[in-house]
């Protein structure tokens, strides 16, 4: 017997929980980039926190919190250009905020308004996929189209650990591997698929190692370390754009809140586990790291927080001021052009 | 004239004077091939994908050799993963591409229902009109050769149910070419269902690209006594039935539906208002089939126009048998259409007799043949 192939899975951490950087992997980034990480995380967190309050007040619908996952989302999103393509699941508010998706639109979406997903020109952030993993093949298809057109863009495809058990994950990654599609598959492994723990998703040690069965690069990163996520995603995006094919990045993180506002995670999760991860949340170590570099002071953070809250306040006001859709909109967007039956029904609805 | 008729093969087309009349006889598969080649030639956004699109057979000839002309990155053989490939087509369509995804059998399309119905059909709506999915799903109804239960289904009604997609079923070479072009350039996902038994049928097909509007049926034969609405292969059967009926003094009008969605209700209503009698000949099963939809529309909009109970021609409510002996009993054709038309013209009290579904389908019902208790 001979060994014909072997693989090893690497885990990347750049900044540890005490805010110390590993110089062997620390990328050379300008100070402004660390500030950008910090400010975007604060903004996304302000948005998230406000969305949760709005839900409790009955002003938006069911909402999935991103608390604890900001580094995974923002570190990865900022590794791409605005002209790249983003395909997301439903728990990606951080990605939308990082890429400058208009916050009032994002709020409209969660208020239950189709117009909230009218992606503005110049951005390619595509509809949040609520059905789990169905967005993965879309990313592969977009990537294949980019290759075909000679358009040097990459696709960031977001999904969770639960999605990795579905057929769409297998089929989408397999075909991306075959066609060397320029896609970065970003698994947000937050340890819980609603109440199903990571240990029940797969018997494999990591989700990252699946990459090898599809002929692509795979890596696990500390998903609460924004610099590690940024570094891995930047390298993957550059490889994709250079024709090197797809990458699977497993961001090892934790969902600190409930699955959604309709869930109560205390029924199935151990308090101590949550408390343990709370200590590892992404902002703590970034703050410590930046303080050591002389980039953080309490005054700086207060300023950033106040600015974020102001921006969120403004977005909420703008979103709530938007008139509800017209009655006729109930049918209007079904097809590019409407059938005789739809036109009849449109008329009945006052269109 | 050969212009409006379809022939079983090229010899028949020639015999009818097709070429002499300056008409261009093409088979259904050649028409599909020509439409695809012309779009690939003129438009870099168009591409073809599916298992076997570049093999020697080229999906029964309909994509044969296209990969040699346009390259494998535009005529792409793919791993077998129907659902993800549909998702990939959606992704490509989002970037402005116009994918043609080919399934050798319509039986494989149910594997894609998540991407098709939960995504492609809804995206334009769910994203407030900002996103659309101009994608064409080609698939073929099989028949014969022991294709049996999993390779010869006629599943158009499954797709017709959901808002957001269009469903077309071309019945002749002219429409095959024109509807394929319309499907590819439609802003919505279009399910394009072909019939394997039409592949060698011949009809006039102009060389220049043209479109056939999606959602418009067409009267293939004018008549005044009974309306026969048919689709796909059943149009061919209905035309033969109409000729036979004419010999016994029954003047049948034949409508080729061409699209199940959008349904050309105005055309149907106009015809039934004229004839008062209706036969719907579908290639699929009866329950919740297009016949039910058509008859319900007529009942709602033109109840008073009906002079007799409508009759539906469908498959018996069972899978396709593998046995050739049983398969012969399974498929309705012109004889069943003739019997149905006659039935609508009989005394009205006939229509009040109710019987089990298969028996109601007339003399071809399996039970009636005594093969089953």
Is residue A3, in this structure, part of any structural domain at all? no
Chain B residues 261-300 with a CB less than 8 Å from chain A: 261-263, 265-266
Q: How many residues does chain A have?
A: 351
Which residues of chain A register pLDDT less than 50? none
Nearest CA distance, A334 vs chain B (angstrom) = 5
The pLDDT assigned to A252 comes to 98
pLDDT above 90 coverage of chain B, percent = 81
Nearest CA in chain A to B267: A340
What pLDDT, on a 0 to 100 scale, did the predictor assign at position B365? 40
Q: Does residue A334 form part of some domain?
A: no
Choose among A131, A149, A337: nearest Cβ to B118. Answer: A131
Query: At B372, is the pLDDT very low, low, confident or very high (cuts 50, 70, 90)?
Result: very low
Contact B265 A145 (CB under 8 A): no
- Is residue B363 predicted with pLDDT exceeding 60? no
Q: Which residues of A touch B (CB under 8 A)?
A: 85, 87, 113-119, 126-127, 129, 131, 134-146, 148-149, 167-168, 171-172, 174-175, 178, 332-337, 339-342
Task: Please give the average per-residue pLDDT across B163-175, as a whole number.
Answer: 97
**Opening angle at CA B109, ends B103 and B112, nearest 5:** 115
Question: By percentage, how much of chain B surpasses pLDDT 70?
Answer: 91
Most B CBs within 10 Å, among A339, A342, A345, A346, to test the B interface: A339
> Can you tell me the ipTM of this complex?
0.92
Architecture of the B218-356 domain: 3-Layer(aba) Sandwich (3.40)
The pLDDT assigned to B246 comes to: 97
B146 — alpha (psi -120 to 50), left (phi > 0) or beta? left
**Residue A268 is among the residues annotated as catalytic for this protein:** yes
Report d(CA B19, CA B21) in Å as an integer: 5
Q: Considering its fold, how many domains does chain A have in total? A: 1
CATH architecture type of domain B2-204: 3-Layer(aba) Sandwich (3.40)
At B11 the pLDDT is 86
Query: In this structure, what CATH number is given to the domain that contains residue A17?
Result: 3.40.50.970
- Mean predicted confidence (pLDDT) in B309-319: 96
Domain boundaries of chain B, sorted by first residue: 2-204, 218-356
In this chain, the answer to whether the domains covering B2-204 and B218-356 adopt an identical fold is yes
> What's the length of chain B?
373
B94/A126 Cβ within 8 A: yes
pLDDT tens sequence across B328-358: 999 999 999 999 999 999 844 444 443 444 4
Give the pLDDT confidence score for residue B4 in this predicted structure.
59
A63 domain residue, yes or no: yes
Indicate yes or no: CB of A336 within 8 angstroms of CB of B262. Answer: no
- Which B residues, 165 through 224, put their C-beta within 8 Å of a C-beta on chain A? 166, 186-188, 215
pLDDT in tens, A118-168: 999 999 998 888 889 999 999 999 999 999 999 999 999 999 999 999 999
pLDDT at site A326: 86
| B4-11 mean pLDDT | 78
DSSP A182-245: -EEEEEEE-SEETTEEGGGT-SSS-STTHHHHTTSEEEEEETT-HHHHHHHHHHHHHHHHTT--
pLDDT at B313 over 80: yes
Would A159 be classed as within a structural domain?
A: yes
Q: What is the pLDDT of residues B153-166, one digit of tens each?
A: 999 999 999 999 99
Residue A82: which domain range?
11-325
**Which DSSP string do the residues of A68-97 spell out, in sequence order?**
T-HHHHHHHHTTS-TTSEEEEESS-HHHHH
pLDDT at position B1: 45
Q: Do B85 and A117 touch (CB under 8 A)?
A: no
What's the start-to-end Cα distance of chain B, in Å?
Answer: 47
A186, B255, B325, B328 from B145: Cα distances, Å = 47, 30, 12, 12
């Amino acid at each position: 017997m001979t060994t014909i192939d072997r693989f090893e899975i690497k885990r990347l951490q750049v900044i540890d929980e005490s805010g110390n950087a590993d110089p062997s992997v620390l990328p050379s980034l300008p100070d402004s980039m660390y500030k950008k990480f910090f400010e975007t995380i604060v903004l996304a967190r302000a948005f998230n926190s406000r969305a949760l309050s709005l839900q409790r007040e009955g002003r938006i619908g069911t909402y999935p919190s991103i608390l604890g996952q900001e580094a995974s989302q923002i570190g990865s999103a900022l590794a791409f250009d605005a002209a790249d393509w983003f395909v997301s699941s439903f728990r990606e508010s951080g990605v939308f905020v990082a890429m400058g998706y208009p916050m009032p639109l994002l709020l409209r979406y969660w208020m239950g308004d189709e117009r909230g997903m009218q992606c503005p020109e110049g951005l390619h952030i595509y509809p949040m996929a609520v059905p789990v993993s169905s967005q993965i093949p879309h990313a592969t298809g977009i990537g294949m189209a980019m290759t075909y057109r000679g358009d040097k863009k990459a696709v960031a495809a977001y999904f969770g650990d639960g999605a990795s058990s579905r057929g769409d994950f297998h089929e989408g990654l397999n075909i991306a591997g075959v066609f060397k599609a320029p896609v970065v598959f970003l698994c947000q492994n937050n340890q819980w698929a609603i109440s199903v723990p990571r240990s029940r998703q797969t018997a494999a040690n990591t989700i990252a190692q699946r990459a090898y069965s599809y002929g692509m690069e795979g890596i696990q990163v500390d998903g609460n370390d924004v610099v590690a996520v940024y570094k891995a995603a930047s390298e993957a995006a550059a490889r994709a754009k250079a024709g090197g094919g797809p990458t699977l990045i497993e961001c090892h993180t934790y969902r600190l809140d409930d699955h959604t506002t309709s869930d109560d995670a205390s029924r199935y999760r151990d308090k101590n586990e949550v408390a343990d991860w709370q200590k590892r949340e992404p902002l703590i170590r970034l703050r410590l790291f930046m303080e050591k570099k002389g980039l953080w002071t309490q005054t700086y953070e207060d300023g950033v927080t106040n600015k974020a809250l102001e921006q969120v306040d403004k977005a909420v006001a703008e979103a709530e001021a938007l008139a509800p859709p017209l009655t006729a909109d109930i049918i209007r967007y079904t097809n590019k052009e409407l059938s005789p039956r739809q036109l009849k029904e449109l008329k009945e609805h006052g269109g | 004239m050969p212009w409006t008729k379809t022939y079983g093969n090229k010899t028949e087309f020639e015999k009818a004077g097709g070429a002499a009349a300056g008409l261009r006889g093409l088979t259904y598969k050649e028409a599909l091939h020509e439409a695809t080649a012309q779009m690939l030639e003129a438009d870099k956004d168009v591409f073809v994908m599916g298992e076997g699109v570049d093999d020697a057979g080229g999906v029964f000839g309909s994509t044969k050799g296209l990969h040699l002309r346009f390259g494998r990155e535009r005529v792409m053989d793919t791993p077998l993963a129907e659902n993800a490939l549909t998702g990939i087509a959606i992704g490509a369509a989002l970037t402005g591409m116009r994918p043609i995804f080919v399934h050798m059998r319509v039986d494989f399309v149910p594997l894609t229902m998540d991407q098709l119905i939960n995504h492609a059909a809804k995206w334009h709506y769910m994203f407030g009109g900002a996103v659309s999915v101009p994608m064409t799903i080609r698939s073929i109804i099989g028949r014969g050769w022991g294709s049996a239960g999993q390779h010869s289904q006629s599943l158009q009604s499954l797709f017709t149910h959901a808002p957001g997609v269009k469903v077309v079923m071309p019945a002749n070479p002219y429409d095959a070419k024109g509807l394929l072009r319309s499907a590819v350039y439609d802003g919505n996902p279009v399910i394009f269902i072909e019939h394997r038994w039409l592949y060698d049928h011949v009809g006039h097909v102009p060389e220049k690209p043209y479109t056939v509007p999606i959602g418009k049926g067409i009267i293939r034969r004018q008549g005044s006594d009974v309306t026969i609405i048919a689709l796909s292969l059943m149009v061919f059967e209905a035309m033969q039935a109409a000729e036979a009926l004419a010999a016994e003094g029954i003047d049948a009008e034949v409508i080729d539906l061409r699209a199940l969605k959008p349904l050309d209700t105005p055309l149907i209503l106009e015809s039934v208002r004229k004839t008062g009698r209706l036969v719907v000949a579908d290639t699929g099963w009866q329950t919740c089939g297009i016949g039910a939809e058509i008859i319900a529309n007529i009942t709602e909009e033109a109840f008073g126009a009906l002079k007799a109970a409508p009759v539906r021609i469908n498959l018996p409510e069972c899978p396709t048998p593998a046995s050739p002996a049983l398969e012969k009993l399974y498929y309705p054709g012109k004889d069943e259409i003739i019997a149905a038309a006659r039935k609508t013209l009989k005394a009205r009290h006939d229509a009040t007799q109710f019987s089990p579904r298969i028996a109601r389908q007339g003399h071809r019902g399996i039970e009636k043949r005594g093969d089953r208790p």
